[in-house]
């Protein structure tokens, strides 16, 4: 009898010894290895086992939410996917932040999940439903103040009636939140590159949705949109026409600019890139076009000499850019302290996956300071660098070494030329 009791005690104690935790850690490592191979189902299976080994491990729940989100939206279609699966994703992430309220990346995926739910509402032309999803995402910490402020500054970088091309969730969700929930800058057509491969979104972008989606110019018919697919393509130069008003405004001496539109390695043009090209050609520079700072330069590869920094965005011009930066537009945004009131909130609402968005502030300050150094205006260089350090303190997000060196060079130049 004493032997049985001793055995029972040992079994109870074993549940709390280090090897159990190490087993959970090993399972997480196996899950991460499978995730890197895009084998999301296997990764989730390992995490479920890790949860059994360590039921109060916040990181396990974070990875379950993160990987299940990818399984739902970034993998082949998940059979039977519906709102219930989305609820499961949010359930994992809520448990993660309940166990560890400082797990910032879990909040990021809460925002990403609510963004996906909002776009699901837009599929049904339900602007109110989309706004409600964004509100819930905000209430649960998915869109912190510094992120929404960044989105607001991105929209402030655009002239009226602009077309703003965005990248992934970090750059798109705050902008769509501001438009749908706050009704801010609804004059801007937001064009997320990641969604241009999806016929339903392209159709929505063409027709627009009151209070939610400002239509973008497109020549494709509804039937062509529904039938969109990768197109046979050799690298060719297409012409982007310039409307008379844009020619006069910018002093363009030509009727169009040429864009060498490259094919993919498979000799095809992706559907999304074809849609993007059609938007530019149909628009004819009648509406100003901007790229958010989160958009890869590969998106406008071949158009680089027509692109100029404007605020924290980059503007596509119908002429070769007269300089790296639009000084007036950028100074107006970057030298106004009130545009950066929420930056300090990154201290308590940090999302390590995406808080490096703030590096784009520093980049714009440096473009501005470099312009003034070339103009031999040491006083303005010092003013810009002081504003940068005041408004976006370096200790908030580590500054890349290349930017640190650039700042040091500018500071030394200004001191010598004061």
Q: Could you tell me which residues come within 8 angstroms of residue 57 by beta carbon, excluding any fewer than 6 positions away? A: 24, 50, 51, 99
Distance, CA of 409 to CA of 392 (rounded, Å): 19
The pLDDT of residue 21 is 47
- The residue with tokens 């302290």 is 337
The pLDDT of residue 400 is 86
Distance, CA of 213 to CA of 146 (rounded, Å): 24
What homologous superfamily does CATH list for 20-139?
Answer: Tetratricopeptide repeat domain (1.25.40.10)
What the block records as the tokens of 310 is: 């404007």
Length of the chain: 418
The pLDDT of residue 4 is 43
Q: Could you count the other beta carbons within 10 Å of the beta carbon of residue 197?
A: 17
The pLDDT of residue 398 is 79
Q: Could you count the other beta carbons within 10 Å of the beta carbon of residue 241?
A: 17
CB 355 within 8 A of CB 346: yes
Distance, CA of 107 to CA of 53 (rounded, Å): 24
pTM greater than the 0.85 cutoff: yes
- Mean pLDDT per 10-residue segment, the chain (418 residues): 44 44 85 94 95 96 95 78 91 98 97 96 96 98 98 98 95 97 98 95 97 96 96 94 97 96 91 97 98 90 95 98 96 98 96 93 96 96 96 87 91 92
Distance, CA of 73 to CA of 69 (rounded, Å): 6
């Amino acid at each position: 009898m004493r032997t049985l009791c001793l055995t029972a005690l040992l079994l109870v104690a074993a549940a709390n010894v280090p090897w159990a935790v190490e087993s959970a850690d090993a399972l997480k490592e196996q899950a991460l290895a499978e995730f890197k191979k895009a084998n999301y189902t296997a990764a989730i299976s390992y995490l479920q086992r890790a949860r059994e080994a360590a039921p109060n491990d916040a990181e396990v729940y974070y990875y379950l939410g993160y990987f299940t989100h990818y399984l739902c939206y970034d993998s082949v279609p998940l059979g039977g996917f519906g709102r219930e699966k989305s609820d499961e994703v949010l359930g994992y992430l809520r448990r993660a932040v309940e166990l560890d309220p400082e797990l910032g990346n879990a909040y990021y995926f809460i925002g990403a999940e609510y963004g996906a739910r909002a776009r699901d509402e837009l599929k049904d032309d339900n602007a109110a439903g989309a706004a409600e999803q964004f509100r819930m995402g905000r209430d649960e910490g998915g869109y912190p103040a510094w992120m929404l402020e960044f989105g607001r500054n991105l929209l402030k970088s655009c002239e009226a009636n602009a077309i703003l091309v965005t990248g992934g969730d970090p750059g798109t969700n705050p902008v769509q939140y501001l438009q749908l929930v706050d009704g801010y800058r609804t004059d801007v057509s937001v064009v997320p590159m990641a969604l241009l491969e999806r016929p339903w979104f392209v159709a929505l972008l063409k027709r627009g949705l009151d209070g939610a989606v400002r239509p973008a110019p497109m020549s494709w018919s509804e039937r062509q949109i529904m039938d969109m697919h990768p197109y046979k393509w050799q690298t060719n130069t297409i012409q982007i026409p310039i409307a008379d008003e844009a020619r006069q405004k910018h002093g363009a001496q030509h009727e169009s600019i040429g864009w060498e539109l490259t094919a993919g390695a498979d000799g095809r043009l992706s559907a999304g890139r074809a849609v993007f090209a059609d938007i530019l050609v149909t628009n004819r520079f009648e509406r100003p076009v901007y790229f958010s700072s989160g958009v890869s330069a590969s998106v406008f590869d071949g158009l680089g000499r027509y692109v100029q920094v404007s605020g924290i965005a980059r503007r596509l011009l119908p002429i070769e850019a007269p300089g790296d930066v639009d000084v007036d537009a950028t100074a107006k945004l970057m030298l106004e302290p009130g545009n950066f009131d929420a930056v300090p909130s990154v201290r308590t609402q940090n999302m390590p996956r995406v808080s490096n968005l703030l590096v784009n502030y520093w980049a714009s300050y440096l473009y501005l300071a470099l312009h003034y150094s070339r103009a031999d205006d040491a006083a303005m260089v010092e003013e810009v660098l002081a504003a940068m350090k005041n408004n976006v303190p370096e200790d908030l997000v580590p500054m890349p070494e290349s930017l640190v060196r650039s700042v040091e060079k500018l500071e030394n130049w200004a001191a010598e030329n004061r």
